[in-house]
Amino acid sequence: MSNAAPNMSENQPVIRQLDDAAINRIAAGEVVERPASAVKELVENAIDAGARRIEIAIADGGKTLIRVTDDGCGITPDQLPLALSRHATSKIDGTDLLDIHSFGFRGEALPSLGAVGRLTITSRAEGHEAAQIAVSGGVMDPVKPAALNGGTIVELRDLFFATPARLKFMRTDRAETQAINDVVKRLAMAEPFIGFTLRDVSGGGDGRVTFRADPETGDLFDALHGRLGRILGNEFAENALKIDAEREGFLLTGYAALPTYSRGSAVAQFLFVNGRPVRDKLLVGALRGAYFDFLSRDRHPAAALFIECDPHLVDVNVHPAKSEVRFRDPGIVRGLIVSSLRHALAEAGHRASTTVAGATLGAFRPEPTTTATGGPRVYQMDRPSAGALRSSYQGQAPIETPLYDAPRYEAPQPSGFAELEGSYSARVEEVVDQPHTADAPPLEALPLGAARAQVHENYIVAQTETGMVIVDQHAAHERLVYEKLKHQMAENGVAAQALLIPEIVELSEGDCARLMEHAEDLQKLGLGLEPFGGGAIAVRETPAILGEVNARQMVLDILDELAELGDSQTLQARIEAILSRVACHGSIRSGRRMRAEEMNALLREMEATPHSGQCNHGRPTYVELKLSDIERLFGRT
């Protein structure tokens, strides 16, 4: 029979002091989880050293080689051994662990890397000679002279050779290389004025450059916009909204994409606190809360947001990897993110992302100019059939008029294009020249132009000065009605339905306290809660618009969201889902014929209504095609 308590022995346990090598290997397990963690620590050290250009070289996903070269201030020869000692750092003096203005401050990265790999540091500080020091598996060699013009080169070989068990948990070279790419790109976003180069030298030689970002110029927003365009692509830069807001000591800057430029996962969400890339569920929840009214649950917003604040208002020493933070007042930060993004989205008005037009143009595929046999393609117009000729002649024939001697009761028989009218579900509106002045420009000069036709009784075709616009009449009007309903609800509040018999929900004392912290916000949405003693709460009111609801299940869903994200949109999402359905049923239906004045009125209302560029589910309500793009489709350029 096995021992019931395997960690207990008959002898009295002895407390031992671990040696430095074991301590460093344990610390390395917290600080350096994989090659990407080592790259992060070394690049952050280079940034703290004031480098303007940083080059990273890796081999075999960073397992066999990581080399970081920078042009920073360097390290003097007498301080090289101290740099490899645990908790030795130039970033802080230890008097105030909250007053941190640098990436690194713990003094654990270099000794941890030297404990699990073969680490070599070559550095030259201004006014000193270059020197080199090496450490392998925690064993340090003496300092020796070296050749270097300036800056620092840190070379890490055979990562985790001293802890072979860790190597078994490494992923493939490709996966580790991708993780390193992600780390370098995040740091490059945080520092747009620094140049970054990532090179893969697997197999020897100079290798190949997998990422390069030259230093940006201009002010902070111009530099950040250019850097984001290089990293996330020009499409993000074209469809991103500038964010610049401040509240109670917190400054929020960055760029957030339009709802119609959404992603299938959260891979395009980048959050920074005092320049440090972080993964914080509070910030992620706030970002989702700002967009939840504009995107369906399977779509995710794209954004790069930077929060700056006094270091005393945020604790970055939560985790050795410094990827998590804790704010002194998280409610202010969340409110700042939600309100700033919603304000920016409202200012965007009816604007939709340019990718919608690109996808539309991509759907127009020209026919091949050659046949399968290689000869030139013969188009139907070059070899028309008899039926096509007959229809063509009929279409071009003028409308017949009755003869003077024909009976008065005989109506004219339509022919020509009138015969074809029933075959097509489209109507062309007559172009009427409207008088215009400087205060009332022509309709074509307005953003969504002048309505010219309706296709399939669902799509409005409008002409602008630079091209054309195709509008989904049902989706557009659905959004307009939805925004009106939301505005009315914000002004009048959510009507609450009092329960004849309050429903008692048993919870733990912690869950009850967490829920009651948000009772005031929930009351504004029509959900009335009161403590009922112990860990129980009494649900006395529910939102009237939801009708009969399972109050207990709703409370539990709200609690789950509070535990995961620090805030809950469950109740508001349910209410606005009802409004969305009401808007859908109350909007212009597909298949309804609209007069020209109705179509133009819809276009004008779209221009005046925020968020009208996407429907309630995040899909675009209109597509804009430039005349130059249309001409390119027909080879007129």
CATH of the domain at 315: 3.30.230.10
Give the mean model confidence (pLDDT) for residues 547-557.
83
- What strands lie across the sheet with 496-506, from one edge to the other? 496-506, 536-543, 528-531
Distance CA 508, CA 494 (A): 29
Identity of the amino acid at 335: G
Distance CA 17, CA 177 (A): 38
Question: Is 532 found in the same domain as 476?
Answer: yes
Identity of the amino acid at 300: H
Question: Is 149 found in the same domain as 273?
Answer: no
**Could you tell me the CA-to-CA distances from 469 to 58, 74, 352, 402, 595 in Å, in that order?**
49, 58, 12, 41, 17
With 50 as the cut, is the pLDDT of residue 78 above it? Answer: yes
Which range is least confidently modeled, 94-98, 201-205, 525-529?
A: 94-98
For the chain, the average pLDDT equals 79
What pTM does this model have? 0.69
Distance CA 124, CA 130 (A): 4
pLDDT per residue as tens digits for the range 297-320: 778 899 999 999 988 888 876 666
Token readout for 574 is: 């349910």
Residue 282 in any domain: the answer is yes
Element (H, E) at 512: helix 509-517
Distance CA 323, CA 304 (A): 16
Angle formed at CA 589 by CA 583 and CA 592, multiple of 5 degrees:
150
pLDDT at 6: 55
Distance CA 511, CA 509 (A): 6
317 compared with 55, residue with greater pLDDT: 55
Question: Is 129 found in the same domain as 92?
Answer: yes
- Tell me how far the alpha carbon of residue 462 is from its chain's centroid: 32
Distance CA 38, CA 118 (A): 12
Question: Is 323 found in the same domain as 191?
Answer: no
* Number of compact structural domains in the chain: 3
Confidence of residue 419 (pLDDT cuts 50, 70, 90): very low
Helix axis angle for 570-586 and 473-492, nearest 10°, is: 130
Question: Is 341 found in the same domain as 263?
Answer: yes
Concatenating the DSSP letter of every residue in 167-199 gives HTT---HHHHHHHHHHHHHHHHHH-TTSEEEEE
Residue 365 in any domain: the answer is no
Distance CA 54, CA 190 (A): 14
How many beta carbons lie within 10 A of that of residue 392, not counting itself?
A: 12
Distance CA 540, CA 159 (A): 60
pLDDT at 290: 85
Token readout for 84 is: 């490899």
Residue 124 in any domain: the answer is yes
What number of residues does the chain have?
A: 637
529 compared with 592, residue with greater pLDDT: 529
With 50 as the cut, is the pLDDT of residue 424 above it? Answer: no
Phi and psi angles of residue 265, each rounded to the nearest 5 degrees, phi first: -145, 180
Q: Does residue 243 contact residue 305 with C-beta atoms inside 8 Å?
A: yes
531 compared with 400, residue with greater pLDDT: 531
pLDDT per residue as tens digits for the range 396-412: 444 444 444 444 444 44
pLDDT at 393: 47
Residue 417 in any domain: the answer is no
With 90 as the cut, is the pLDDT of residue 55 above it? Answer: yes
Examine the fold and report which residue of 348, 375, 397 is the final residue of a domain before the chain moves on. 348
Rg (CA), the chain: 33
Residue 437 in any domain: the answer is no
User: Which residue, 330, 303, 301, is CA-closest to 315?
Assistant: 330
Q: 490: which residues sit within 8 A by CB, 6+ positions away?
A: none
Phi and psi angles of residue 23, each rounded to the nearest 5 degrees, phi first: -60, -45
CATH number of the structural domain spanning residue 130? 3.30.565.10
Q: Does residue 505 contact residue 551 with C-beta atoms inside 8 Å?
A: yes
Examine the fold and report which residue of 323, 348, 373 is the final residue of a domain before the chain moves on. 348
Distance CA 397, CA 415 (A): 7
pLDDT per residue as tens digits for the range 370-392: 555 555 444 444 445 555 545 55
Question: Is 339 found in the same domain as 230?
Answer: yes
Give the mean model confidence (pLDDT) for residues 409-429.
47
Give the mean model confidence (pLDDT) for residues 594-619.
84
Question: Is 465 found in the same domain as 568?
Answer: yes
Confidence of residue 367 (pLDDT cuts 50, 70, 90): low
Q: Does residue 155 contact residue 75 with C-beta atoms inside 8 Å?
A: no
pLDDT at 636: 72
Examine the fold and report which residue of 194, 211, 228 is the final residue of a domain before the chain moves on. 211
Question: pLDDT over 70 for what percent of the chain?
Answer: 74
User: Which residue, 305, 393, 373, is CA-closest to 341?
Assistant: 305
Phi-psi region of 298 (alpha: psi -120 to 50; beta: other; left: phi over 0): alpha
pLDDT at 16: 77
Question: Is 36 found in the same domain as 173?
Answer: yes
| CA pseudo-torsion sign 454, 460, 462, 467 | negative
With 80 as the cut, is the pLDDT of residue 618 above it? Answer: no
206 compared with 20, residue with greater pLDDT: 206
pLDDT per residue as tens digits for the range 124-167: 999 999 999 999 888 889 999 999 999 999 999 988 887 777 77
Between strands 269-273 and 303-308, the pairing is parallel
Between strands 536-543 and 528-531, the pairing is antiparallel
Distance CA 296, CA 577 (A): 11
Element (H, E) at 65: strand 65-70
Q: Does residue 102 contact residue 41 with C-beta atoms inside 8 Å?
A: no
Angle formed at CA 94 by CA 91 and CA 99, multiple of 5 degrees:
65
Between strands 314-315 and 622-626, the pairing is unpaired
Question: Is 197 found in the same domain as 262?
Answer: no
Question: pLDDT over 90 for what percent of the chain?
Answer: 25
How many beta carbons lie within 10 A of that of residue 453, not counting itself?
A: 17
Element (H, E) at 278: strand 276-278
pLDDT at 246: 93
Question: Is 83 found in the same domain as 66?
Answer: yes
**Hey, which of 93-102, 135-144, 209-218, 566-575 has the most confident mean pLDDT?**
209-218
Q: Does residue 541 contact residue 499 with C-beta atoms inside 8 Å?
A: yes
With 70 as the cut, is the pLDDT of residue 248 above it? Answer: yes
Question: Is 226 found in the same domain as 207?
Answer: no
pLDDT at 302: 92
pLDDT at 375: 52
Give the mean model confidence (pLDDT) for residues 333-342.
90
Question: Is 296 found in the same domain as 189?
Answer: no
- Tell me how far the alpha carbon of residue 143 is from its chain's centroid: 47
Distance CA 356, CA 470 (A): 11
pLDDT at 354: 65
pLDDT at 521: 78
With 50 as the cut, is the pLDDT of residue 458 above it? Answer: yes
Residue 394 in any domain: the answer is no
Token readout for 613 is: 């560029």
Residue 1 in any domain: the answer is no
pLDDT per residue as tens digits for the range 192-201: 999 999 999 9
With 70 as the cut, is the pLDDT of residue 414 above it? Answer: no
Residue 325 in any domain: the answer is yes
Give the domain extent around 518.
445-637
pLDDT at 243: 94
pLDDT per residue as tens digits for the range 31-52: 678 899 899 989 998 998 899 9
